[in-house]
Amino acid sequence: MLVLALVAAVLVAAALTERSAIYNAPELAPPSANATASSEAGEQAENLSRDTDLRLYDRIAERVADGENYYAVAVEEQRARDFPVRPGLAVRLPTLAFLTAAIGQWGLIVLAVIIVLGTLVAWHYRLRDVPGGPGRLRYVLLLLVIGTVSGLKPQYLALHEVWAGILIALSLGLYRPNKWIWAFLAGVLAVAIREHALPFLLLMSVLAWARGNRGEAAAWLGAVIVFGLLLALHLSQVAQYTGAADPVSPGWFALRGLGGWTANIVLSSPLQFLPGWLAAPLAVLPLLGWAGWRSWFGLTGFLLCLGYGVLFMIAGRDNNFYWALVVMPVWFVGYAFVPRALSSLWHSARGI
């Protein structure tokens, strides 16, 4: 009964703390969402986004394709748009720019389609071996598609979070306790594109250690350490082109609480079209399903979503809500197991 009451309390708290104020703020609409109710406002937000964030990434890739130095170009283009370039994390990792420069926009579209189709196939075969997976396979795959297409649009492929998200989903689908190398590579690619995928690598290392797979745990942890060194190199490269006169980005530690968590999920998904008081509880409900999926796969999904949820409570401003795209492809999968979890809690509360 206590657990059921706790779940109800969290859902009510989510409804009461939903951050509806940012729904109708065009200046806060990131390149990942049409966050307004009317089609006219949505079009305005999309055009604004293409003129700012997305256009920035497009232009950087164009100049890199012409042979210019990534760091010089990125700093120059961000300055030209009055975007902060300090600290160094305000400048994105160069991986996606190099990839875009190499294969172009149409190449990105083809690659994204291949990865998404590969992810669906990988999950199809993975779930056949997971307790509870085969019976809900069609629902899981449908929810996986819904979460993936939330940010997977041709005009948004310049977003680093989109790629990190689909690669994390691919990694989960490819993972096997004794055959983890392909999942490992997908995870490494995710963090190479966006450092926000780092918690996923740390989680996989911890879970591998808990299962007694010491070699695998060391590999995941080793990737984190290597990435830390490469990130330090990235920051040093940015520092060569910036100075004390450059504007500093506002802090990312905003401590927005539960409202920040639900706002990120809502505004990065189809939930944005629902009233805020309803969308916010629905944004956290998948965690109940993940928690009720009694398997290592379910535990991984639960800890992954919970971890990012806590991160969104602590870090990120309102206009950073597209960070949720890093975990969005797998987020709604938990819905497939919500009925089972609720039934289990109800029977437990009644002592059945």
Provide the pLDDT for residue 252: 87
Task: Render pLDDT for 244-259 as a digit per residue (tens, 0 to 9).
Answer: 889 888 888 888 999 9
**Would you kindly state where each structural domain of the chain is located, as residue ranges?**
1-51+250-352, 83-249
CA distances in angstroms from 2 to 208, 346, 350, listed in the order given? 31, 11, 11
Provide the pLDDT for residue 53: 82
Provide the pLDDT for residue 342: 86
Provide the pLDDT for residue 50: 54
SS3 (DSSP) at 86: strand
Structure tokens at 124: 């199809």
Tell if the pTM clears 0.75, that is, is over it.
yes
Task: Render pLDDT for 268-304 as a digit per residue (tens, 0 to 9).
Answer: 999 999 999 999 999 999 999 999 998 999 999 999 9
Provide the pLDDT for residue 41: 42
* Positions in the chain short of pLDDT 70: 1, 20-51, 349, 351-352
DSSP 131-192: TTTGGGHHHHHHHHHHHHHTT--GGGTT-HHHHHHHHHHHHHHH-BTTB-HHHHHHHHHHHH
Work out the percent of the chain whose per-residue pLDDT is above 70: 89
Provide the pLDDT for residue 66: 95
CB 311 within 8 A of CB 264: no
Provide the pLDDT for residue 151: 75
